[in-house]
């Protein structure tokens, strides 16, 4: 009788541990609205499923307020229903990805996070009939997240992206008003290959390094000069902004990290 009691207690403990492990493998959180303009019109939830060798899967679902049925209809932006931008908390790592819809309103994205770091995952979408929605999630990889001292502390308007030199025409812009800034994208003459006269498209993602608010630019105005592109900035709150300028020259997509201040 005593042995059966002990075995029963062990079974209960083992079952409890299994449940704890299962819960530890699936971490769910609700996103925080991240656009400086507008207001949240939906609820966005993210589950993080731990996998082997540091590979983790982000599982995202979005809902209308007070609804339990995931949203399934989206107005595509850049031919995609959903964009996930992943930024390490020292602003030195960036990824712009598109998750796969694996079910009715369920999006999945496998991602290999560097252990011991914290990341911000920005989920951008435009549900049918609504304004654009962007939510921020915080993802930690490994047991102890360490917030690195970032080197992004001052404007830096020049960067190299592959064979290209990229620069902004100003390091400071006016806050709280839309405006144009010019980006120069020039191929290094010593780089192999034929230099295109203009790149196919330009886009940019911006994050305020203090408030962590998010903005983006979906396109650029070709000024007709080689190789100048006018970027239309939305109204920005004051602060230092990390910008990842992405462009496609017809063969590859390049990303140039830049920094400017809104004052």
Written as tens digits, the pLDDT of the chain (263 aa) is 545 444 443 344 334 433 333 343 457 899 999 998 899 999 999 999 988 877 899 999 999 999 999 999 999 999 999 999 999 999 999 999 999 998 899 999 999 998 888 999 999 999 999 999 999 999 986 655 555 556 788 999 999 999 999 999 999 999 999 999 999 999 988 888 877 888 999 999 999 999 999 999 999 999 888 899 999 999 999 999 999 999 999 999 999 999 999 99
Which pLDDT value is given to residue 142? 62
Which pLDDT value is given to residue 13? 37
Bridge partner residues of 77 (DSSP): 80
Q: DSSP character for 11? A: H
Which pLDDT value is given to residue 146? 54
- List, in sequence order, the alpha helices (H) in the chain: 2-25
Question: Which residues touch 33 (CB under 8 Å, ≥6 apart)?
Answer: 39, 40, 133, 134, 135, 136
Angle at 129 between CA 125 and CA 135, to 5 degrees: 25
Question: Which residues touch 132 (CB under 8 Å, ≥6 apart)?
Answer: 35, 38, 77, 124, 125, 126
Which pLDDT value is given to residue 153? 86
């Amino acid at each position: 009788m005593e042995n059966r009691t002990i075995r029963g207690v062990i079974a209960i403990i083992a079952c409890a541990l299994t449940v704890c492990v299962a819960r530890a493998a699936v971490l769910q959180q609700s996103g925080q609205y991240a656009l400086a303009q507008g207001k949240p019109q939906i609820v966005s939830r993210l589950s993080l499923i731990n996998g082997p060798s540091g590979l983790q899967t982000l599982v995202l679902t979005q809902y209308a307020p007070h609804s339990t049925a995931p949203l399934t209809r989206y107005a595509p932006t850049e031919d995609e229903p959903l964009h996930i931008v992943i930024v390490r908390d020292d602003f030195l790592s960036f990824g712009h990805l598109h998750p796969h819809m694996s079910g009715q309103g369920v999006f999945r994205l496998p991602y290999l996070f560097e252990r011991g770091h914290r990341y911000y995952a920005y989920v951008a979408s435009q549900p049918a009939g609504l304004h654009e929605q962007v939510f921020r999630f915080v993802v930690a990889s490994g047991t102890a997240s360490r917030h690195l001292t970032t080197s992004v502390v001052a404007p830096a308007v020049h960067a190299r992206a592959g064979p290209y030199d990229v620069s902004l025409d100003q390091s400071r812009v006016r806050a709280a008003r839309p405006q144009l800034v010019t980006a120069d994208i020039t191929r290094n003459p010593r780089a192999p290959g034929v230099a295109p006269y203009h790149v196919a498209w330009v886009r940019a993602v911006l994050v305020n390094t203090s408030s962590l608010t998010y903005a983006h630019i979906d396109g650029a105005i070709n000024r007709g000069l080689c190789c100048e592109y006018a970027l239309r900035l939305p109204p920005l709150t004051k602060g230092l902004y990390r910008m990842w300028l992405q462009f496609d020259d017809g063969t590859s997509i390049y990303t140039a990290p830049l920094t400017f201040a809104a004052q």
